[in-house]
Amino acid sequence: MKQIGLLLKALSLCLVALCLLDANHCVANDGEGKTLKDAYNGKFLIGVAVNTRQVDGVDSLAQSVIKQHFNAIVAENCMKSGMLQPKQGAFNFSDADKFVAFGEANNLFVTGHCLVWHSQAPRWFFTDKDGNDVSRDTLIARMKTHIQTVVGHFKGKVKGWDVVNEAIEDDGSYRQSKFYKIIGEDFIELAFRFAYEADPDCELYYNDYNMNKQGKREAVVKMVQNLQKKGIKIDGIGMQAHCTLTYPTIADEEASIEAFCRLGVKVMITELDVSVLPNPFEYNTADVNQSAEYKEKLNPYGKELPDSASQALTNRYLDLYHLFLRHKGCISRVAVWGVSDKGSWKNNFPVWGRTDYPLLFDRNYLPKPVVKKLIEAGEASK
């Protein structure tokens, strides 16, 4: 028995070695040469968040997986305001330009993420030379310059923008961000107006986590209706979907998909992942401010994922994709938040330094068993 185990391990190491030699040929193959993007062709786009190392080809195995299985990409970090305009007026488009060029060269639908977000925004954005909050007019002007420079720079190339990210709390109240506190709730409509002026043909989205929560669902519906009443263009709603094996319930997620579909906008699952690790908090959130101290018992699968947990992950992904397929008429894109477990933000959130398994491809960039199942589910759906 032990010898068979060793033999299997040796074979899988050989496979990884072969993949390293010839990345384009083997990593992303599900075993039958089928791909996720083909299986979901005509249903919705199959997207993935990518980072700079993948675009540059430093992470060549991840790049192969992207090219083989996905037809849409979103920037994990390189288009956030702190990256694009670290100092006032000093725009740096080098990584973002490469990201967009990679998308164009590989015929991928390119989404920009994100124009207005309280996190990863540079300090200067909100403060004057003495470190005090700027006035409403100044912040509006800075927001306008940022949005219009960025959207204008990528006009015609970025097909959709997350214009505003995470502006509403789970209970439906407005997040007390600097944008809200200094400008007021109309910072949202102003952001959409500015983006539209810079590229009228680009799709414009509102994006948030925990969209399954009733309070947030109702507030987002109200906010979108308000924009629609005023004739402000909003094309879609992004539901991030940072999930666990049990959260959110399919029923809650479905209630939000249905509520958003009724608005007549596109619905997108934008940042899908499924954590298999224990949550040190009772509450599930993707709020980057949450963090807990590392403890061994919070990191139960440091070496490998046991079969039972792997099976649970497969089942959970299948339940979610079956839900998405039921609403394929209004869901335009389902995107996972990263290529392989190795690079997932979940390894460091909400506890730094754990080993999580939230994505579709493992640490060797090989498809997990769930990939084949998802391909079958896509093919079976008429």
Q: Is residue 60 involved in binding ligand G3I (CB under 6 A)?
A: no
Distances in Å between the Cα of 39 and the Cα atoms of 48, 85, 128, 259, 277 are: 16, 39, 52, 27, 29
> Scanning residues 192 to 221, which ones bind ligand G3I (CB under 6 A)?
209
Q: Cβ of residue 280: shortest distance to ligand G3I, in angstroms?
A: 16
Cα–Cα distance for residue pair 27/8, rounded to 1 Å: 17
Cα–Cα distance for residue pair 376/344, rounded to 1 Å: 25
Q: Is residue 77 involved in binding ligand G3I (CB under 6 A)?
A: yes
Cα–Cα distance for residue pair 271/155, rounded to 1 Å: 24
Nearest to 360 by CA among 333, 320, 308, 302: 320
When binding is defined by CB under 6 A, the residue of 76, 95, 169, 199 that contacts ligand G3I is 76
Q: Is residue 120 involved in binding ligand G3I (CB under 6 A)?
A: yes
Per DSSP bridges, beta strands 203-208 and 236-239 are: parallel
Smaller CB separation from ligand G3I, 205 or 378: 205
> Scanning residues 147 to 166, which ones bind ligand G3I (CB under 6 A)?
165
Residues 6+ away with beta carbon under 8 Å from 37: 45, 46, 69, 70, 71
Q: Cβ of residue 104: shortest distance to ligand G3I, in angstroms?
A: 22
Q: Is residue 52 involved in binding ligand G3I (CB under 6 A)?
A: no
Strand partners, 274: 243
Q: Is residue 288 involved in binding ligand G3I (CB under 6 A)?
A: yes
For the window 241-280, what string marks contact with ligand G3I as x by the rule CB under 6 A? ------------------------------x---------
Mark 236-260 as b/e (b = at least 16 C-beta within 10 Å).
bbbbbbbbbeebbeeebbbbbbebb
Q: Is residue 106 involved in binding ligand G3I (CB under 6 A)?
A: no
Q: Is residue 286 involved in binding ligand G3I (CB under 6 A)?
A: yes
Q: Cβ of residue 21: shortest distance to ligand G3I, in angstroms?
A: 28
Smaller CB separation from ligand G3I, 280 or 369: 280
Q: Is residue 284 involved in binding ligand G3I (CB under 6 A)?
A: no
Cα–Cα distance for residue pair 358/222, rounded to 1 Å: 32
Q: Which residues are catalytic?
A: 166, 271
Alpha-helix residue ranges (DSSP H) falling in 234-337: 250-261, 307-326
Q: Is residue 240 involved in binding ligand G3I (CB under 6 A)?
A: yes
How open is the CA angle 200-155-182, to the nearest 5 degrees?
A: 70
When binding is defined by CB under 6 A, the residue of 44, 161, 345, 357 that contacts ligand G3I is 345
* Number of residues located near ligand G3I, criterion CB under 6 A: 11
Q: Would you say 370 and 316 are in contact if contact means Cβ atoms under 8 Å apart?
A: no
Q: Would you say 382 and 360 are in contact if contact means Cβ atoms under 8 Å apart?
A: no
For the window 6-45, what string marks contact with ligand G3I as x by the rule CB under 6 A? ----------------------------------------
Smaller CB separation from ligand G3I, 288 or 312: 288
Q: In the complex, which residues of this chain contact ligand G3I (CB under 6 A)?
A: 76-77, 119-120, 165, 209, 240, 271, 286, 288, 345
